[in-house]
A and B are shown apart, each in its own frame.
Chain A
Amino acid sequence: MSTMTDPPKADFRLSMLINDTRYRSLTFQVIAAIVIALSIWYLGNNLIQNLRAAGLNISYEFLGDPAGYDINQRLVEYDSQSSHARAAIVGLLNTLLVAFLACITATIFGVIAGVLRLSKNWLVSKLMAIYVEIFRNIPVLIWILIIFFIMTAVLPSPRAFRGEDPASSMVLDLFAFTNRGVYIPRPEFTNGLFGVTFLNWLLVLVVLVGSWFASREIEKRATKTQELTGVRPKTMLVKLAVWLAPFGILMFLMGLTWNVPELKGFNFSGGIKVGGPLIALWFALSIYTGAFIAENVRAGIQAISKGQTEAAAALGLRQGRIMNLVILPQALRVIIPPLISQYLNITKNSSLAIAVGYADITATLGGITLNQTGRAIECVLLLMLFYLTASLLISMGMNIYNASVKLKER
């Protein structure tokens, strides 16, 4: 029986740095560190020299200066005397607004198209396949431009609403579709809390969340009763009451009125104006991303083995309940990870707003502010910082949701 002997202790030779696996990775990392440090030094040195030559410095003081340009579509107070920082915030909120709206509608389009593409109806499934292929293979920028031009070319100008016998009229006397944008009625509260709009909306939100919790509690009770007695009590009416009654009472107490848009001179006033660029961007992003989501949904549903459908059918479930109770909950786990990246794509693609003049953060901070102040480095860095943060937050939030629906494995 021989004993294992240690390998002969060789003296350290220089060639071991390259040939010996114990040292090689260290060598490579040292080389890499030197290369990276050198290139950073080189780029930084160039930057400093170029800035000195152009008489510039890195400073964020320009953010406090008055912006001097107007923004049509805005969620918070802003005028041309506001600072560049405020313009950036207006843009930031606009980005979030269009991304949020587009995520919702894209999901709806995508789920409908994805499910219909698997339909047994040959015509419907082929139509959906055409929709998916057409929208996936044409750049989103072209779609945004096409829809923007449709809006401006097909819809009437506000002038067409004027006169004794106008060429166009408002839909139901409530909505006005013009080529400058869509005007919808705005809810207002005559005797709300403290006369502060923001607090009123907060109150509405609180009431709705309360109703949601109450209706969930009712569902839970119904399930418990079903488990005890085998009969599920009817919850439909109670739930409806829980949703409607508090909301209705609140609206009555706060005195809800509608501020309907009306024609004043050459344009509409009152109501909420949803600008043409916003609609074009919103619709284009949702219909384009919807095509991608449709493919994800289809893949998710097809990933569920046929045995699941057959087992559910063997239990005597109807077609709709098989989809709701058996297939979709399982398919969701496959669908959600790609869905997250689609939401990220929507957020990033919303930066194309600049092509149709929607004032998102790329158009305000990276467009007009950059051109006016000439502070390219600062603006682009801020812009990247915002998108990085937004991407990280969205993926974090969706990952938490994903973890909650994930298959709990032992």
Chain B
Amino acid sequence: MSDQTTNPIAFVAEGTIPPAPPPANETGIVKWLRENLFSGVTNTVLTVLSLLLIYVLVKNTMPWIFNGVWQANSLSECREILAGKTGACFAVLTERWPQLIYGFKYPEEAYWRPNLAFVLMLVAFAPVLFFDLPRKMLLFTAVYPFLAFWLIWGGTILVPLVALIGCVGASLVFRKLGSNSFAAGFFGAIATALVIWNVGGALIPEGASDNAWLTAVPSRDLGGFMLNMMLGVTCVSLSVPLGIALALGRQSNMPLIKWVCVIFIEFIRGVPLITLLFVASVMLAYFFPPDSTVDLFLRVVIMITMFSAAYIAEVIRGGLAALPRGQYEAADSLGLDYPQAMQLIILPQALKISIPGIVNVAVGLFKDTTLVSVISMFDLVGMIRGPILASTQWNGVYWELLGFAALLFFVVCYGISQYSQWLERRLATDHR
């Protein structure tokens, strides 16, 4: 008590101190730099090294890109225009653009057909990828494969029309019978489709394609990036249902079905895609009826589809295994039979879990479509390695061509992976 009187308080704050700005080192960009780039000796060294790397990269590539020549007819002409300066010869891209995109045999006057098919593909995919769009658009998605086939291959419209009618008939039968018993609907649908295709196929007159409105293009004339896109899209769309079937088969408690699926999946996953493409190019023809001609494109599609189906099956098996057992038991206790339980309870959840994995497989598959250049199909890489680099005008323009191919693939693959991340966030129903 006495201390208070003997030591009078020297200072009493009468008001609050006005807020001062933080020290310069602790705010804004300086703070960010100190914390993120120069927080210690190692960090500073790493930063300096990275800056050096970026500088070297930029210094070497920028003049090359910005001095690029866009209009010339050959490499030597490019060099004349550049007159000793470093610079790219992008003229090869402008001059050979149609070859890079459509291959070197696709008829020039028909380029609008794949273009239209590509635009329509975006429309057809939209309702599948973004489910806020009206569901009615799915009708167009269902028609699209037949339309695209007609546009790209041309010929008589009767062939895709018969195929479409077969599919419509099959789906009607499935609707009718499938509500009672899945098996009856399934086999009924297959039978209907086969009957319609056979009857319709017999009705199409010989030489119907000769004077068709769209000239027929044989599939060996397809090429360029178009071929990559076609292989990628077809094989991914076909392999997802096949992969689901294989994954369910592997989980089945019927030993025969289970072991067939296990052997198929493990065999396909154990060999590289190139050997499967060899099978498509030199071996598969032996397994078709002697007088039939199944063209290389179809054989390649069969093999790539089998390949990616095996990988997708493994991804979906992971999704199925990740579901708690309670989900299966709950479905059983509701009295649902196997197809119902799968359709309504198990697959919607399992597929949601497997989306990132399926997209990974899809991206990998799209990249792997470049391998068809090894069995002398002229896809984008095949065109670059074959006709373009071998031509006298453009012999030696590696960087521009391969860089262009790399850029195309990067844009598509990166886009797909960004979409998958968006979808994952969109589908996340758990609260975090």
Residues of A within 8 A of B (CB): 18, 25, 28-29, 32-33, 36, 43, 46-47, 49-51, 53, 119-124, 127, 133-134, 136-142, 145-146, 149, 153, 348-349, 351-352, 354-355, 362, 366, 370, 376-377, 380, 383-384, 387-388, 391-392
Contacts and interface: CB of A to CB of B under 8 A. Distances in A.
A144 to B, nearest CB: 10
A138 B283 contact: no
B391 to A, nearest CB: 17
Interface of B: 35-37, 39, 43, 46-47, 50-51, 53-54, 181, 183, 253-257, 260, 267, 269-275, 278-279, 282-283, 285-290, 363, 367-368, 370-371, 373-374, 381, 385, 398-399, 402, 405-406, 409-410, 413-414, 417
Given A28-B257, A141-B370, A366-B275, 6 more contacts: A29-B254, A33-B256, A49-B290, A139-B381, A349-B272, A387-B270
Contacts, number: 150
A392 B271 CA distance: 10
Among A32, A36, A133, A145: residue with most chain B CB under 10 A: A145
A25 B289 contact: no
A28 B414 CA distance: 43
B270 A121 contact: no
A332 B360 CA distance: 23
A276 to B, nearest CB: 14
A46 B406 contact: no
Nearest to B42: A121
A138 B50 contact: no
Contact of B36 (A29, A122, A141): A122
A43 B253 CA distance: 28
Contacts of B271: 348, 383-384, 387-388, 391
Contacts of A133: 414
Nearest to A128: B50
A49 to B, nearest CB: 5
B371 A149 contact: no
B414 A362 contact: no
Contact of A120 (B39, B255, B273, B406): B39
A29 B257 contact: yes
B410 A46 contact: no
Given A46-B287, A120-B36, A139-B368, A380 B278 contact: yes
A261 B256 CA distance: 61
Contacts of B279: 380
A377 B283 contact: yes
17 contacts: A18-B181, A25-B254, A29-B257, A33-B256, A46-B287, A120-B35, A121-B36, A122-B37, A123-B37, A138-B410, A141-B373, A142-B406, A145-B398, A145-B402, A146-B406, A354-B374, A383-B278
A377 B267 CA distance: 17
Given A119-B46, A120-B39, A124-B46, A29 B256 contact: yes
A145 B381 contact: yes
A153 B398 contact: yes
A380 B288 CA distance: 17
A261 to B, nearest CB: 27
Nearest to B398: A149
Among A28, A141, A352: residue with most chain B CB under 10 A: A141
A351 B373 CA distance: 13
A140 to B, nearest CB: 7
A388 B270 contact: yes
Report the 5 A-B pairs with minimum CB-CB distance, sorted nearest first.
A348-B272, A137-B413, A376-B282, A139-B367, A122-B36
Nearest to B48: A123
Given A36-B260, A121-B43, A146-B406, A137 B414 contact: yes
Contacts of A136: 413
Contacts of A153: 398
A362 B275 contact: yes
A376 B287 CA distance: 13
Contacts of A387: 270-272, 275
